[in-house]
Structure 1
Amino acid sequence: MTDSASHELGLQDTPRLSVCVVTYLTSPYQVEFFNQIAASREVRLQVIYLRREHDLHPWGQVTLKHEHLVLEGHPEVIGQAFRWVLEANLTVCNYYTHWFALAALHLRHLSTRPWVFWGERPGFLRLGWFGRLARRVLLYPISKSAAPIWAIGQAGVAGYMNDWGSDKTYVNLPYFSDLSRFRNQPRTVRAEERVVLYSGILNSRKGVLGLAEGFRAAASAHPNLRLIILGSGPLEQRMRAILEPVAAQVLWEGFREWHELPAFYAQADALCLPTRHDGWAMVVPEALAAGLPVITTMDSGAALELVTHDFNGWVLPNSESHSIENAMCRLADLPSADLARFSAAARESVNSHTLDEGRSRFVTAACEAVAAYDNKSASKATLDTSHKWHVEKNQKVTNKTFIRAAADSMTLAVFRVNQLGDNVVYLPVVQSLVAAHPEWRIVMVTSTTAARLYEVCCPQVELHVHEASKFTSAWRRPLQLVQMAAELGALRPDACLLGDDQGKVAHLLALLSGASLCIGPKTSNVLNYLLHHREAAIANESVAEHNWRIARARFSLPENMPAPDLSGFGRDDSNAIVIHAGASREYQRWPLRHYTELANRLVKTHPVRWISQGDDVGLSPAVQRVKTTSLDELVRVIAGARLFVGNNSGPMHLASALGTPGVILIGPSSPSWDPAWHQDRFILLREPRISCQPCDAVWKPANRCLNTLTPMACLNRWSVDTVYEQVVRFCRSL
């Protein structure tokens, strides 16, 4: 809903309580209920719908008269949706098996602000102990917080008490609908007939095969029985085959729109819902309001609360055909006067089940949830200061620096889980933040490859180390992702800062951390919309410069980016030409045989050190092999070199940071990954005339050579003779 649309609906004024609901579908029932709540203006209601349509319920368009977002097909609103989840006085989680719903629930829990879980009776899939275990894992914040559970019906309350125990707060808050349209519909029943209505999906969960078999048996003995079937589904053809012997007594109406339903209820004498599991089942109160006694099972949540056996309906022990047959025979034989009494009792049983009653119970439960929340003072502080931070809007701060409202230290989580080179170009950001804000607690989320870099160069920071490949693929392992989110949330960061090419896992963890500010690059990643502030890259800008601008956008840093300070590693002065033939990906490497030939020729006139990676076959004995078993040794060797020769790789970025001159075979890499410092000390061997070059995007490597006609053309272009001449000439100039 746009701001203008919100204004037209009168939703701009801020009521005393804001409530955000995360729910699954824009079903007519949900929309009608939420429209009623929003119209009362007792709370400010914001609803996040995960989907617009249901595969088996092709409802037409419904009019949403409340603030809302629909995520399906609209990834651009995901960031706004998460902000709604974070900023509301109360967040109501009405779903949990969708990634956004689960993330919202965990995020709200980590934020320490009021939230509730609102759900139907558990056990939809009938998985027993395994289902309970799955709910305990996915909904673990329920056990770790004082968040109440709003259960849909008394059966829901009993189900969740069985899962979570009796110590929690439970509220019975079922679904509500406008039943007046069923009450006020003129009846069109005929005295000589007994018409049974079924309304719903034709699937196994609804027990429709038992319905078909039971009706066939009852109708064979009672010609006055009729069956109206509203709905469609996967079992329709099997039902038709079962009902073929009594086809003349069955009317197939197919799927009908929501507004058409009252007219069909008015044609019936009773509703049959032989469900095997329904958390609530709106057809039950609708039928009762229409004066229809209900034949249903103990597996319907609404029936257990609204239907009294042999008074306003019949509650069956199961959905077996013989149970349904007996109930329908009872209906067929029921005298008209008794049927009238059942009908009157049905209407009476839902007199108080109105939209207004539902609105009142929802608002009351919301207010009580906020009032009873354990951390009321922390919630108020969060509302007033947005987690103790604010932007000084009345001052013209040119770099929009994010300024603390309090003078004490803050916790900043920085994400850079990548290869060595990525972290070398990011090091100035971390070192400058440490220097500018020594009182801050800075937590560096980084890779095993780069951890030592921060240990030596930024000993003040706290490290959280992950293997890069496992970190970036953690979204495929929800339990690991939840554990990582819990560990990060326990740090209670005030802000999160993401490097330029962090993926979906870093984005999601940043938001789940509960930080009130998440900053990073502007990319095409769908989860990039989760960030509060995004900085787009500028044409011809290096990755290092982009990272610097991202950090400066919200933190106080110098205008000019310094080179990293690697002096803590020391140096191993050799005045030799140091050759490193490796790179993280094979297609980024000049052929090893070329490096070997180059080293053998150079060593005749220059001291040469070869950084050994077990790849020194054919190397002259005169070449000094150096096996660098640690980052410390690698840095010292490059720092003490006269000249560095290698591919575009992490060691190249070390040479750039150290000011060691170099001859670099660029290959497929983007110019944004060229040496960021001391560019005048480097010769970059790049062939821009090759049409496929560069094939690596700034944030996404190709991972293979894309030139099928002339593979590796960008590197094979350079002969050993050419590189040798460049190296010798450069050495003479030093």
Structure 2
Amino acid sequence: MRQVEGKVEILRKKNLGRTPVPIDGKRVLIVKLRYIGDTLSIIPVIDNIKRNAKGAEIDVMVNKGTEEVLIHQPGIARLWPYDRHAAKRSALGSITYHVQLLRQLRGRRYDVVMDFTHGDRASFLCYLTGSPFRISYLNSSRLAKTLMNHFISAEASEMHIVDYQLEALKPFGMNHFRRKIDLHIPAPVQEKVDRLLGGKGVSAGLKVAIHPGARGTLRQWPPERFAEIARRLQSENGADILLVGGPSESALVESVEQGLRSPALFKSTQLGLLEMACLFSRCRIFVGNDSAPAHLAAAAGCPTLTLFGPTFPKMWQPLSDRGEVIFKNVDCCGCRQEECIRPGRSCMQMIEVEEVWAKVLNMLS
């Protein structure tokens, strides 16, 4: 066991010696089988390897449906979308899918594999790549401790997820990191978004994006409160409102628009991920729940006001130097319940309209 930078240590089953392990010219696979915001969070890992490891070749595996945010990112040699539906279709279908996938992965002959998923499935895939150097975290699953062979000990609850993941690069001699999530949005996407806005995308005027949805109702602020914020922005600030959501959030978006003083300048639940990020880049501020669009807005350079419920912003808030959060740190925060144990007074319901309005005005001033 060797101490690295005071608070982080790498525990290993094989002795790596006292000097950093070089990965210049090595082939590296990064695995993160989670959600859209999680996929965005590995961009700094990719960028820092590319900046510090000369000639390193970086492949990335993420869940299918999240890969769009990485398609145009520089520094990625090959992108592997992991198809969860194909993997679970049937016993035979799962075996067939994984055999074909692993044959291709093993053909890449990875020197290093890094798993940022914290799940058994990802650990199993990493192990079967045949890579001799497989990195995970000490707080990963029991199976990961068997299948992986080098472990990083870091306190996830004490740092942002981006910093937590960058700690895995320290054994390779990297200690000074660039934390920014540089999301590349190609020109055709920007042109399409400006057409969708009817030429108003780059025009003057206050534009505010609002996303009322989230993954799970416990993370959603009441839609009528979003409508109240939007209505005030229209009445008192002359703002144009842009309402966005995912394909399953049409009713939620409609309910917010019904409470507006006038129709939204733009409304959609069918945007691609990069289109949504580009849309946010045309806005003065984003207001929404702790969900993927908030992370897309921050990555696109839009100031964000994110409302947090049962998740901790210290680790998960959108990475931005122009971001604000509102968070009620109730004693049951961190729960994974489907139904709140505080009916009528959930952590999201505790966030008042006046509190959000004050933050919005401060960010616009």
Structure 1-normalised TM-score? Answer: 0.41
After superposition, the C-alpha distances for 1:319-371 in whole angstroms (9 at most, x for unaligned) are xxxxxxxxxxxxxxxxxxxxxxxxxxxxxxxxxxxxxxxxxxxxxxxxxxxxx
SS of match in other structure, 2:172: coil
**Paired residues of 1:667 and 1:714 also in contact (CA < 8 A):** yes
**1:553 paired residue among 170, 183, 187:** 170
Residue 682 of structure 1 aligns with an amino acid whose one-letter code is G
Match of 1:609 among 242, 247, 265: 242
Aligned CA distance change for structure 1 residues 670 and 471 (closer, same or farther; 3 Å): farther
Please state if 1:586 is matched with 2:220: no
**Contact 2:137–2:154 (CA under 8 A) maintained in structure 1:** yes
2:304 pairs, out of 652, 659, 662, with: 662
Residue 456 of structure 1 aligns with an amino acid whose one-letter code is H
Task: Give 3-state SS (helix, strand or coil) of 1:534's partner.
Answer: strand
Tell me if 1:691 matches 2:307: no
**Is the aligned partner of 1:599 residue 2:230?**
yes
Q: Paired residue for 1:507? A: 123
Of 2, 22, 42, which aligns to 1:403? 22
Alpha-carbon contact 1:545-1:561 (below 8 Å) kept: no
Give how far 1:713 is off. 0.8
SS of alignment partner, residue 623 of structure 1: coil
**Separation of aligned partners in 2, 1:564 and 1:537:** 21
Cα deviations by residue, 1:91-148 (Å, 9 ceiling, x for unpaired): xxxxxxxxxxxxxxxxxxxxxxxxxxxxxxxxxxxxxxxxxxxxxxxxxxxxxxxxxx
Matches within 5 A, 1:165-204: none
CA distance in 2, matches of 1:554, 1:573: 45
In the aligned structure 1, how far is the partner of 2:301 from the partner of 2:293? 12
Q: Paired residue for 1:645? A: 287
Aligned position for 1:486: 103
Q: 1:473 to 1:427 in 2, by over 3 A?
A: farther
Which letter does structure 1 place at the counterpart of 2:125?
L
Partner of 1:415 in structure 2? 31
Tell me which of 48, 55, 58 is aligned to 1:442: 58
Of 72, 77, 82, the residue aligned with 1:456 is 72
CA pair 423-573 structure 1, distance change in 2 beyond 3 A: farther
Contact persistence 2:224–2:259 (CA under 8 A):
no
Match of residue 338 from structure 2: 704
CA distance in 1, matches of 2:304, 2:290: 11
Q: Distance in 2 between matches of 1:670 and 1:526?
A: 24
- CA distance 1:473–1:495, shift in 2 (3 Å): farther
Deviation at 1:711, TM superposition (A): 5.6
| Match of residue 354 from structure 2 | 721
Query: Of 625, 634, 642, which aligns to 2:266?
Result: 625
Q: Percent identity?
A: 19
In structure 2, the gaps of 5 or more residues are: 1-11, 191-200
1:703 Cα offset (Å): 5.5
- Map 1:46-195 to 2 at 5 A: none
Distance, in Å, in 1 between the alignment partners of 2:180 and 2:91 is: 34
What amino acid is aligned across from residue 565 of structure 1 in structure 2?
A: D
The question of whether the paired residues in 2 share the 8 Å contact of 1:413 and 1:495 is answered with yes
Show the counterpart of 2:278.
636
Give the partner amino acid of 2:241: V
Q: CA deviation at 1:557?
A: 3.5
1:383-431: CA deviation from partner (whole Å, max 9, x where unpaired): xxxxxxx94x3xx53xxx3225xx7x33211101221100111111012
CA distance in 2, matches of 1:693, 1:505: 27
C-alpha distance in 2 between matches for 1:472 and 1:672: 34
**Distance (Å, rounded) in 1 between the aligned partners of 2:319 and 2:89:** 32
Shift in Å at residue 625 of structure 1? 2.1
1:541 equivalenced with 2:172 (yes/no): no
Query: 1:436–1:714: structure 2 CA closer, same or farther, 3 Å change rule?
Result: same
In the TM superposition, 1:111-510 aligns within 5 A as: 391=16, 393=17, 396-397=18-19, 401-403=20-22, 409-437=25-53, 439-458=55-74, 460-468=76-84, 477-499=94-116, 501-510=117-126
User: Are the counterparts in 2 of residues 542 and 676 from structure 1 also a CA contact under 8 Å?
Assistant: no
* Residue in structure 1 matched with residue 198 of structure 2 by the alignment: none
How many residues of Structure 1 are paired with residues of Structure 2 in the alignment? 326
| Structure 2 counterpart of 1:635, one-letter code | A
The answer to whether the 8 A contact 2:33-2:61 is kept is yes
Judge conservation of contact 2:46–2:75 (CA < 8 Å) in 1.
no
DSSP-derived class of the 1:715 partner: coil
* Offset of residue 647 of structure 1: 0.8
Q: Distance in 1 between matches of 2:283 and 2:171?
A: 38
Q: Provide the C-alpha distance between the structure 2 equivalents of 1:435 and 1:474, rounded to a whole number of angstroms.
A: 42
CA RMSD of aligned residues (A): 2.9
CA drift at 1:461: 2.3
Aligned pair 1:730/2:349, yes or no?
Answer: no
Rg larger in 1 or in 2? 1
Per-residue CA deviation, residues 238-277 of structure 1 (Å, 9 max, x unaligned), is xxxxxxxxxxxxxxxxxxxxxxxxxxxxxxxxxxxxxxxx
CA distance in 2, matches of 1:718, 1:429: 34
Secondary structure of the residue that 1:663 maps to in structure 2?
strand
Would the alpha carbon gap of residues 513 and 685 (structure 1) be closer, same or farther in structure 2, given more than 3 Å must change? same
Q: Tell me, what secondary structure is at the counterpart of 1:716?
A: coil
Within the candidate set 652, 655, 678, 2:320 is matched to: 678
> CA 1:468–1:684 in structure 2 vs 1: closer, same or farther (change >3 Å)?
farther
Letter paired with 2:274: D
List gaps (5 residues or longer) in structure 1.
Answer: 1-78, 84-389, 696-701
Contact 2:64 2:81 in 1 (8 A): yes
How many angstroms does 1:519 deviate by? 0.6
Question: How far apart are 1:619 and its partner, in Å?
Answer: 4.6
Q: Aligned partners of 2:313 and 2:103: how far apart in 1?
A: 38
Q: Is the 8 A contact 1:659 1:677 kept in 2?
A: no
Aligned mates of 2:305, 2:82 — CA distance in 1: 33
Cα contact 1:415–1:496 (8 A) shared by 2:
yes
The answer to whether the aligner puts 1:522 opposite 2:138 as a matched pair is yes
How far apart are residue 723 of structure 1 and its match? 1.9
Q: CA deviation at 1:479?
A: 4.6
- Where relative contact order (Cα < 8 A, 6+ residues apart) is larger, the structure is 2
How high is the TM-score relative to the length of structure 2? Answer: 0.79
Answer whether contact 1:442 1:462 (CA < 8 A) is retained.
yes
Which residue identity does 2:332 align to in structure 1? Answer: C
Partners of 1:455 and 1:682 in 2: how far apart? 26
How far 1:674 sits from its partner (Å)?
3.4
Letter in 1 for 2:326: L
For the 8 Å contact 1:603–1:623, the answer to whether it is kept is no
Change in Cα spacing, 1:619 to 1:625, as seen in structure 2 (3 Å) is farther
Q: How many angstroms apart in 2 are the aligned matches of 1:691 and 1:580?
A: 27
Cα distance, 1:594–1:650 mapped onto 2, change above 3 Å: same
